[in-house]
């Protein structure tokens, strides 16, 4: 499976990268970074740190420093000043490639001999810019798997989830582009909480990957408790990759989803018409159920892969 991961590391993005590197089914064409959890400079540094530490060998292409229309926001309350607080990564000389994320996406997707799976775990700005640059790439996208949105309540406003709220215009372009959309929203990601039991379970693996996981998750949890009063941070982003590793993990329903780019208080809401009230054309597979035990088995298996 030819795949591109577009991300804004971010604690949960880092674990999505770790999952990606643990499974040989993925032929990773490249990693693109976007502003979101932190500035584009910091999310890019964080991606390079994880890639170096886990010896993944992926090329990184730096992307958008701000959404298409809105001003840039960050989520330092959860991810900290660095965007990946809690673990000290070893120094290295890795640098992002000279090509932009948008240009890389267009080139890689056009040149791929098989259709490409594009996974986004941050604001969808880079993918939207690539589609705006060359709409023809859509015919060579197998599917877009995004962490974002919510059938129910949001997590930055009552209506909207962070990634979509950051750049609703970009999400709208992606949802309307014609490529199959798989939306992994808060409805399932809020069920995979990294509780103390999970941290203790993964700590027992006692290798470099589990050390990174547990150290990052301890900080992630402290911040999730402060902000959301949660007894364990939701591992949002890795659910995208895990659902590609094991298709039995997540149940999707095929529905019409519209992104609210107009209203003020509901800006960035994903209106998923699960009951099909409006009888509009269906355009998205929306995650409604997840096997929590299976998810953490996938995480544990991935951590054990890195026995270096």
Q: Point out the catalytic residue in the list 8, 13, 85, 291.
A: 8
Q: How far apart are CA 197 and CA 100, in angstroms?
A: 41
Q: Which is nearer to Ca ion, 31 or 255 (CB)?
A: 31
Contacts of 56 (CB under 8 A, 6+ apart): 17, 20, 21, 28, 50
CA distance 146 to 49: 23
Q: Which of 30, 63, 122, 123 binds Ca ion (CB under 5 A)?
A: 122
Distance between CA atoms of 240 and 148, rounded to whole angstroms? Answer: 10
Q: Which is nearer to ligand RIB, 21 or 36 (CB)?
A: 36
How far apart, in Å, do the first and last CA atoms of the chain sit? 25
Min. distance of Cβ 136 from ligand RIB in angstroms? 28
Indicate which of ligand RIB, Ca ion, none lies near residue 214 (CB less than 5 to 8 Å, by partner kind): none
Examine the residue annotation and report whether 8 is marked as an active-site residue of this protein: yes
**Nearest C-alpha neighbor of 252 from the set 281, 296, 282:** 282
Residue 169 vs 187, nearer CB to ligand RIB: 187
- Give, as ranges, the residues between 233 and 292 that touch Ca ion (CB under 5 A): 237
Per partner kind, with CB cut-offs from 5 to 8 A, the member of Ca ion, ligand RIB, none near residue 161 is ligand RIB
Residue 63, binding choice from Ca ion, ligand RIB, none, Cβ under 5 to 8 Å by partner class: none
> How many CA atoms, within 13 angstroms, populate the side-chain half-sphere of residue 82?
16
The correct pick among 5, 10, 124, 257 for binding Ca ion (CB under 5 A) is 10
Residue count (the chain): 308
CB of 215 to ligand RIB, least distance (A): 17
- Footprint of ligand RIB on this chain (CB under 6 A)? 8, 10, 12-13, 36-37, 75, 121-122, 147, 155, 161-163, 236-237
Categorise residue 65: left if φ over 0, alpha if ψ from -120 to 50, beta otherwise. Answer: alpha
Q: Kindly list the residues in this chain that would bind Ca ion in the complex (CB under 5 A).
A: 8, 10, 13, 121-122, 237
């Amino acid at each position: 499976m030819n795949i591109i991961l577009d991300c804004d590391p971010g604690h949960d993005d880092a674990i999505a990268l770790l999952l990606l590197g643990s499974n040989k089914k993925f032929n990773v064409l490249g990693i693109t970074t976007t502003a979101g959890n932190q500035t584009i400079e910091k999310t890019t540094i964080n991606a390079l740190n994880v890639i170096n530490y886990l010896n993944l060998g992926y090329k990184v292409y730096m992307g958008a420093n701000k959404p298409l229309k809105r001003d840039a926001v960050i989520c330092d309350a959860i991810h900290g000043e660095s965007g990946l607080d809690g673990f000290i990564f070893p120094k290295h000389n890795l640098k992002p490639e000279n090509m932009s994320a948008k240009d890389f996406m267009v080139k890689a997707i056009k040149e791929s001999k098989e259709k490409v799976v594009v996974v986004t775990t941050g604001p969808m700005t880079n993918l939207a810019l690539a589609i705006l640059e060359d709409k023809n790439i859509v015919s060579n996208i197998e599917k877009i798997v995004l962490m974002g949105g919510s059938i129910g309540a949001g997590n930055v406003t009552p209506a909207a989830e962070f990634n979509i709220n950051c750049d609703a215009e970009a999400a709208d372009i992606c949802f309307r582009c014609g490529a199959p959309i798989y939306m992994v929203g808060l409805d399932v990601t809020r069920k995979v909480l990294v509780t103390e039991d999970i941290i203790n379970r993964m700590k027992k693996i006692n290798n470099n990957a589990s050390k990174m996981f547990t150290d990052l998750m301890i900080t992630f949890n402290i911040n999730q408790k402060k902000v959301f009063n949660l007894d364990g941070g939701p591992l949002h982003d890795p659910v995208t990759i895990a659902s590609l590793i094991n298709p039995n993990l997540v149940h999707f329903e095929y529905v019409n989803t519209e992104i609210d780019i107009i209203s003020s208080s509901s800006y960035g809401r994903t209106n998923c018409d699960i009951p099909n009230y409006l009888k509009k054309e269906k355009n998205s597979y929306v995650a409604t159920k997840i096997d929590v035990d299976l998810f953490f088995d996938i995480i544990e298996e991935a951590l054990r892969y890195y026995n270096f």
